[in-house]
Amino acid sequence: MLELQGVSRLFGGLAALNTVNMTVNAGKVVGLIGPNGAGKTTLINCVSGLDHPTSGVIHFDGVEIQNKAPHQITALGLGRTYQNIRLFGDLTVLENVIIAQHQHGKANLLDSLFQSPRHRREFKQQVERAFELLKRFHLDSFSDSRAGGLPYGDQRRLEMARAVATAPRLILLDEPTAGMNPVETHEFGEQILKLRDDGLTLLVIEHDMALISQVCDEVYVLNFGEMIANGTVDAIKQNQDVIEAYLGRED
Amino acid sequence: MDAVFDFLAPVGLNETNFQFMLIAAILGCSIYVTLYGGMFSLANAGFMAIGTYVSVVLTQRYDWPFVPAIIAGMVAGGLIAIIVGLPVLRLSDIYLAIATIGFGEVVVVLIRNFDRIYEEIFDKKIEITGGGKGIKNIPVTTDTLHLIIFLLIVVYFLYRMQHSRFGRALAAIRQDETVAANLGINVVYYKNVAFIIGAMIAAGAGGLSGHLNRVIEPDDYDFDRAVDILTYAVLGGTTFFIGPVVGGMVLRYLPELLRRLKVLSFVGSIVGRDLTNEQAAVDGIINGIVLILFIVYLPGGLADPQLWKSLYRRLRPNNTQKGAP
Amino acid sequence: MNLRTLFYVLSAIFLGFLIPYLIATYLFNKEVLSPEQQLANAMWRGSIYSLFALGYALIFSILGLLNLAHSSVFMWGGYIGLMSVLKLDMPIWVAMPVGMIGGGLVAVSVDVIAFMPLRRRNAPRISQLISSIGASVILLSLATLIFSSTPKRFPQDSIDALPGTADKPLTWLLDNANVRITPIQIAIFVIPIVLMFLLEYMVNSLKIGKAMRVVAFNQRIARLLSINVGNIFAFTFFLSGVLAGAAGVLQGLAFNSMTPYMGATVALKGLTVIVLGGLGNIRGAVVGGFLVANIEIMSIALGYGWLSDAVVFSSLFLILLVRPQGLLGESGKMRA
Span B106-139, pLDDT tens digits:
999 999 999 998 988 898 888 888 888 889 989 9
Q: Does A102 touch chain B (CB under 8 A)?
A: yes
pLDDT at C179: 64
CA distance B255 to A59: 63
Amino acid of residue B118: Y
Q: Determine, yes or no, domain membership for A117.
A: no
Sorted by where each begins, the domain ranges of chain B are 2-323
The partner residue sitting opposite B295, judged by closest CB among C130, C309, C324, is C130
Beta bridge pairs of residue A218: A30
Summarize the confidence of residues C231-242 as an average pLDDT. 93
Q: Determine, yes or no, domain membership for A125.
A: no
Q: Read out DSSP for B58-115? A: HHHHS---HHHHHHHHHHHHHHHHHHHHHHHTTS-HHHHHHHHHHHHHHHHHHHHHHH
Q: Determine, yes or no, domain membership for A122.
A: no
Q: Does B289 touch chain C (CB under 8 A)?
A: yes
The partner residue sitting opposite B95, judged by closest CB among C133, C314, C320, is C320
Beta bridge pairs of residue A103: none
**CA–CA distances in Å: residue C44 to residues A155, B150, C29, C272:** 59, 51, 27, 18
How does pLDDT run across B21-60, given as a tens digit for each residue? 999 999 999 999 999 999 999 999 999 999 999 999 999 9
Q: Read out DSSP for B140-189? A: ----HHHHHHHHHHHHHHHHHHHTSHHHHHHHHHHH-HHHHHHTT--HHH
Tell me which of B40, B84, B98 to substitute to probe the interface with C (most C C-beta atoms closer than 10 Å).
B98
Summarize the confidence of residues C121-137 as an average pLDDT. 86
User: Which residues on chain B are in Cβ contact (under 8 Å) with C334?
Assistant: none
Of the given ranges (A55-64, A73-82, B299-308), which has the lowest mean pLDDT? B299-308
CA distance B232 to B287: 9
Summarize the confidence of residues C109-130 as an average pLDDT. 87
How does pLDDT run across A209-222, given as a tens digit for each residue? 889 889 999 999 98
Distance in Å, alpha carbon of B119 to nearest chain C alpha carbon: 13
Summarize the confidence of residues C105-128 as an average pLDDT. 89
Q: Determine, yes or no, domain membership for A129.
A: no
User: Which residues on chain B are in Cβ contact (under 8 Å) with C268?
Assistant: 101-102, 105, 223
Distance in Å, alpha carbon of B169 to nearest chain A alpha carbon: 7
pLDDT at A88: 92
Neighbouring C-beta atoms of residue A141, cutoff 10 Å: 10
The partner residue sitting opposite A166, judged by closest CB among B169, B183, B186, is B183
How does pLDDT run across B272-318, given as a tens digit for each residue? 777 777 777 887 888 888 889 888 888 888 888 888 888 888 877 65
Is the pLDDT score of C166 beyond 90? no
Is the pLDDT score of B179 beyond 60? yes
CA distance A97 to A103: 12
Q: Residue A163's closest chain B neighbor by CA?
A: B183
Summarize the confidence of residues B76-84 as an average pLDDT. 96
Amino acid of residue B192: N
Q: pLDDT exceeding 70 applies to what percent of chain C?
A: 89
CA distance C30 to C27: 8
pLDDT at B323: 41
- Give residue A76's pLDDT band: very low, low, confident or very high (50, 70, 90): very high
Of the given ranges (A244-248, B205-209, B268-272, C288-292), which has the lowest mean pLDDT? A244-248
Summarize the confidence of residues A10-31 as an average pLDDT. 89
The partner residue sitting opposite B93, judged by closest CB among C126, C131, C275, is C126
Q: Report the mean per-residue pLDDT for chain A.
A: 88
Contact at CB, B102 and C141, closer than 8 angstroms: no
How does pLDDT run across C76-88, given as a tens digit for each residue? 999 999 999 888 8
pLDDT at A228: 86
User: Which residues on chain B are in Cβ contact (under 8 Å) with A75?
Assistant: 184
What kind of fold does domain B2-323 have according to CATH? ABC transporter involved in vitamin B12 uptake, BtuC (1.10.3470)
Tell me which of B153, B174, B182 to substitute to probe the interface with A (most A C-beta atoms closer than 10 Å).
B182
Q: How many CA atoms are closer than 13 Å to the CA of A205, on its beta-carbon side? A: 23
Chain A to chain B Cβ contacts (< 8 Å): 91
Contact at CB, C316 and B98, closer than 8 angstroms: yes
Beta bridge pairs of residue A202: A29, A171
Is the pLDDT score of B177 beyond 50? yes
Q: pLDDT exceeding 90 applies to what percent of chain C?
A: 21
In degrees, rounded to 5, the angle at the alpha carbon of residue A221 between the alpha carbons of residues A216 and A226 is 150
3-state SS, C274-335, equals: HHHHCCCCHHHHHHHHHHHHHHHHHHHHCCCHHHHHHHHHHHHHHHHHHCCCCCCCECCECC
- Give residue C159's pLDDT band: very low, low, confident or very high (50, 70, 90): low
Distance in Å, alpha carbon of C216 to nearest chain B alpha carbon: 17
The order of strands in the sheet holding A201-205 is A78-80, A170-174, A201-205, A29-33, A218-223, A226-231
CA distance A86 to A82: 6
Q: pLDDT exceeding 70 applies to what percent of chain A?
A: 98
Q: Does A95 touch chain B (CB under 8 A)?
A: yes
Is the pLDDT score of A179 beyond 70? yes
Contact at CB, C320 and B91, closer than 8 angstroms: yes
Distance in Å, alpha carbon of B168 to nearest chain A alpha carbon: 6
pLDDT at C236: 92
CA distance A205 to A187: 17
pLDDT at A247: 62
Distance in Å, alpha carbon of B178 to nearest chain A alpha carbon: 7
pLDDT at A133: 92
Q: Does B4 touch chain C (CB under 8 A)?
A: no
Sequence-ordered list of residues with C-beta below 8 angstroms from that of C216, at least 6 positions apart, any chain: C61, C62, C335, C336
Is the pLDDT score of A77 beyond 60? yes
pLDDT at B295: 86
Chain B to chain C Cβ contacts (< 8 Å): 131
This prediction has a pTM of 0.89
Neighbouring C-beta atoms of residue C120, cutoff 10 Å: 10
Contact at CB, B161 and A105, closer than 8 angstroms: no
Q: Which residue range forms the structural domain that includes residue A51? A: 2-87+152-246
pLDDT at A176: 87
**The total number of structural domains that make up chain A:** 1
pLDDT at A14: 83
Summarize the confidence of residues B178-206 as an average pLDDT. 95
- Give residue C334's pLDDT band: very low, low, confident or very high (50, 70, 90): very low
Q: Determine, yes or no, domain membership for A208.
A: yes
CA distance B219 to B52: 13
Strands A170-174 and A55-60: unpaired
- Give residue C257's pLDDT band: very low, low, confident or very high (50, 70, 90): confident
pLDDT at B321: 45
